[in-house]
Amino acid sequence: MSEVFYLETARDVFRIESKAVAALSNLLNSSFSDSVSAILASHGRCIVCGMGKSGIIGKKIAATLASTGTPSFFMHPGEAYHGDLGMVTPDDVFVAISNSGETSEVIKLIPFLKDNGNYLVSLTGNPESTLAQASNSHLDISVHEEACPLQLAPTASTTATLAMGDALAVTLMKARGFKPENFARFHPGGSLGRRLLATVNDEMVTEALPFVSLSASILDLIESIGAGGLGIAIINSPEGLGIVTDGDIRRAVQKYGDNVFNVTAGDVMSFDPANVSPSTRIEDALFLMDRNKISSLLVVENGTVVGVFKK
């Protein structure tokens, strides 16, 4: 088979699946709004359940909901039927996924959910199915065709399910007024969490800071900048704070030439450099550094340099 065949096959998949997702907007009705309202009004969690490929998609939907302000977790229907239903409280909204709407492992949970008083949201490709008819709200995820040429492997249908889950999550985000700061709280290990939650105090360098005097020579400055590994030397003089960067050294060499060894820190330092307090958010510190085109910030508390923050 040729490369043309491979590429055309892939393009067919993209065409079929993108068409399936685009068609979902025409399938939306008041059930979607009812589902959102029920989840917003719930004092419990949003429990997502599905079998096989639907379960895999359900795990992603549950993870997206949980990270965007809707407490949620995935429950395997087999495990649910063998004891995990004990985790379901009457306050929880139960989201059941089954493309056919007839998946036996999911259908068997309906009597318990009804008796427990749970609001049941279903995602199926068959509005007349057992699951759809038993639900408080049904979200139609039907597709015209699968990308699988045998029409057997869930492809376009799982993509449509995932998109419907994203639509739920994003709508809930907007309804809750979910902000980047909220997202960062649930992702403290990511770069966004670092920028929005951590403070300069968490990451500043405090040991062996490269302090020098106003009278320090160029050689002293070069030695201090190199030893400190921060790209700067710090001057804390009666006149105020100052810094000398490795860039200042290069410019001094260009300006003074052979006389550069007669130059002192006081001749090349920058007075009153940009600085922040230890409690400054890293996001704000990075913004200040970008605005001033610098890579190091003095951290000052009560007029004293207590650290250096670097990108």
CATH number at residue 213: 3.10.580.10
> What would you report as the CA-atom Rg of the chain, rounded to the nearest whole angstrom?
30
How many structural domains are present in the chain? 2
Task: From 178, 211, 229, give the residue that closes a domain.
Answer: 178
Provide the residue type at 57 as one letter.
Answer: I
Report pLDDT digits (tens) over 193-236. Answer: 555 667 888 888 899 899 998 889 988 888 988 888 888 999 88
**What confidence tier does 183 reach under pLDDT thresholds 50, 70, 90?**
low
Domain-located, residue 25: yes
Same domain, yes or no: 144 and 26: yes
Same domain, yes or no: 18 and 88: yes
Same domain, yes or no: 12 and 94: yes
Domain-located, residue 188: no
Domain-located, residue 183: no
Same domain, yes or no: 207 and 250: yes
Same domain, yes or no: 167 and 64: yes
Domain-located, residue 195: no
CATH number at 86 reads 3.40.50.10490
**Are the C-beta atoms of 58 and 48 separated by less than 8 Å?**
yes
Domain-located, residue 97: yes
**What confidence tier does 30 reach under pLDDT thresholds 50, 70, 90?**
very high
Range of the domain at 223: 200-310
Structure tokens belonging to residue 255: 């300006």
**What are the b/e assignments for 209-223, b being 16+ CB within 10 Å?**
bbebeeebebeebee
Same domain, yes or no: 58 and 124: yes
Same domain, yes or no: 168 and 84: yes
Report pLDDT digits (tens) over 227-282. Answer: 888 889 998 877 788 899 888 888 988 988 888 888 888 888 888 888 999 999 88
Listed in sequence order, the residues at least 6 apart from 255 whose beta carbon sits closer than 8 Å to its beta carbon are: none
Task: From 128, 146, 178, give the residue that closes a domain.
Answer: 178
Give the residue among 197, 227, 222 at the shortest CA–CA distance from 210: 227
Domain-located, residue 194: no
pTM over 0.85: no
Same domain, yes or no: 159 and 255: no
Same domain, yes or no: 85 and 215: no
**What confidence tier does 111 reach under pLDDT thresholds 50, 70, 90?**
very high
Same domain, yes or no: 84 and 152: yes
Helix (H) or strand (E) holding 138: strand 137-140
Quick one: average pLDDT of 291-309?
Answer: 89
Domain-located, residue 13: yes
Domain-located, residue 67: yes
Same domain, yes or no: 157 and 220: no
Same domain, yes or no: 163 and 228: no
